[in-house]
Amino acid sequence: MGNRNIILLTVECLRSDHTSYSGYQKETTPTLSSLAEESLNFTNAFSVSPWTPLSFTATLTSTYPLLFDGVVNPIQKNRISIAKILQENGYKTISLAGGWLNPLYNYTRGFDSHNKMDIATALRLAKYSSFWFLVFNRLSEKFKLTDIYRDKIYRKARYQDFENSQSLLKNRRILPQVKKNLDQNMFLWIHYSDSHPPWYPAKEFHFPNTSSNYEEAREVNERVRENILERKPGELNLSEDELQKITALYDGEIRGVDEAINRLIEELKDLGIFEDSYLIITGDHGIELMEHDDWGHGINLYDELVHVPLLIRGPDIESKKIDEPVSLIDIPPTISDLLNLRKPKSFMGDSLLKNKRRKGVFLENAQEKRKDFSREGRKVVLDLEKSKYGYRTDKYKYILTRGEEEELYNLESDQKEQENIADERPEIRNRFRKIVLNHIEFEKEFSEKNRIKGKVESLQEKGI
């Protein structure tokens, strides 16, 4: 028996319904389709939140992001990352993520090695940082430095040539480290981000309706970006033609990431470590393509934003479809279970290998109130007054938005969540409202207890 490696592959903005194995009409994911045949295929998996930093808080630490008064970054010491657990159990932990998921925000905690920040990320995060970064950011906005950089990188490299895609670059960076550590157990996490907008898929992965012209792709990306900056839901000004074009660009990026996953797997097979490893593939959240008159991600809790693929493959794992709803908060306990490791008390999810399934999954999101800087790292403080909570079962979706009307959808007759029946079905609405209010109350009490515990600990540290 070889080493029991854990390989976690996550894909930006990957909607379940845009994978070909879930019935999408375009052949976006041939690799995932063949993996799905050999995996536990969770057909109703949901990310906790539609926004990267919140989603990964749940996916890496099995805690709800709005706990602890909505302070999500850095992943605090009371949120224990699965990477830390594996590290403590002798695993070599290696990550290649990026964007939010960087050392500044502590998403690399528990990893022996991780990516350094690239210049694009540094520029983007600059506005969240110190005074000089702020100055730098203002200048870069004024002189369009990030645009120039983006143009250069996409036009000269990525758009023209898949071999220079970020996804392949991540494969190339992780493989030498894998080769160096073949004699020990490894936890590999790659977050493929090419499928995050703006989308400039490589030429070989264009779908019909996608222009192979960089300028046209750029134009449609810019058009959407302008709309987002204004962000007036219901007033976004995308024509049907533009929507089709941008969707095709998105699908092309998914096809590229799928190919990168294929190549990684081939390399791992050549090294002889694939068959004995556990492979987990999912998306961090989805993306809205005007289904609810809005575009992008990070605000709403509709299925296009939270329904993601989830495949688990490995030794002794049977291949079958599981249709009950599951949450990405269940991934860390599942990894603990796969390796027979102790599950920390802080994990709030359940192992997906158990037959006991959830009746429904909780969804959460909040907007950013401010960013704080501390010695531990950057913190994003969420505005809980502007939060959204959801609960989704196989039949219903309930959404509670602070200060706004409640929403309830019957997913059997209205899969696209277009007809709000909260007023028509008060008995169901009240039942779900109670479940969600209990969840909020639980989070409040939990956070309060944590606050008191923190105060006691700091007093003890000071010797009082």
| Min CB(12)–Zn ion separation in Å | 5
DSSP β-ladder status, 295-296 and 45-46: unpaired
Smaller CB distance to Zn ion: residue 284 or 304? 284
Residues that bind Zn ion (CB under 5 A): 12, 52, 284
Smaller CB distance to Zn ion: residue 9 or 422? 9
| Min CB(53)–Zn ion separation in Å | 8
Smaller CB distance to Zn ion: residue 18 or 92? 18
Q: Three-state DSSP class for 389?
A: strand
Cα–Cα distance, 76 to 127 (Å, whole number): 22
Q: Three-state DSSP class for 410?
A: strand
Smaller CB distance to Zn ion: residue 52 or 63? 52
| Min CB(293)–Zn ion separation in Å | 21
- The residue number with the shortest CB distance to Zn ion is 52
DSSP β-ladder status, 310-313 and 278-283: antiparallel
| Min CB(101)–Zn ion separation in Å | 9
| Min CB(52)–Zn ion separation in Å | 3
| Min CB(55)–Zn ion separation in Å | 6
Smaller CB distance to Zn ion: residue 178 or 328? 328
| Min CB(119)–Zn ion separation in Å | 20
Cα–Cα distance, 359 to 356 (Å, whole number): 10
Cα–Cα distance, 336 to 351 (Å, whole number): 8
Smaller CB distance to Zn ion: residue 298 or 360? 298
Q: Which residues contact 130 (CB under 8 A, 6 or more apart)?
A: 373
Give the residue carrying structure tokens 């023209």.
160
Smaller CB distance to Zn ion: residue 201 or 298? 298
Question: DSSP of 54-75, one letter per residue?
Answer: HHHHHHHH-S-TTHHHHEEES-
| Min CB(13)–Zn ion separation in Å | 6
Q: Three-state DSSP class for 366?
A: strand
Smaller CB distance to Zn ion: residue 296 or 333? 296
Smaller CB distance to Zn ion: residue 194 or 284? 284
Report whether 347 contacts 336 (CB < 8 A): yes
Buried b (16+ CB within 10 A) or exposed e, 183-199: eebbbbbbbbbbbbbbb
**Alpha carbon distances (Å) from 344 to 83, 300, 332, 347, 367:** 12, 31, 10, 6, 29
Question: Over the Cα atoms of the chain, what is R_g?
Answer: 22
Smaller CB distance to Zn ion: residue 47 or 171? 47
| Min CB(284)–Zn ion separation in Å | 4
DSSP β-ladder status, 320-322 and 40-42: parallel
Report whether 404 contacts 450 (CB < 8 A): no
Give the H or E element holding residue 408: strand 407-410
Q: Which residues contact 331 (CB under 8 A, 6 or more apart)?
A: 8, 59, 62, 82, 280, 282, 349, 352
Which residues sit opposite 420 in a β-bridge?
Answer: none
Cα–Cα distance, 122 to 142 (Å, whole number): 17
| Min CB(193)–Zn ion separation in Å | 8
Smaller CB distance to Zn ion: residue 11 or 408? 11
| Min CB(454)–Zn ion separation in Å | 29
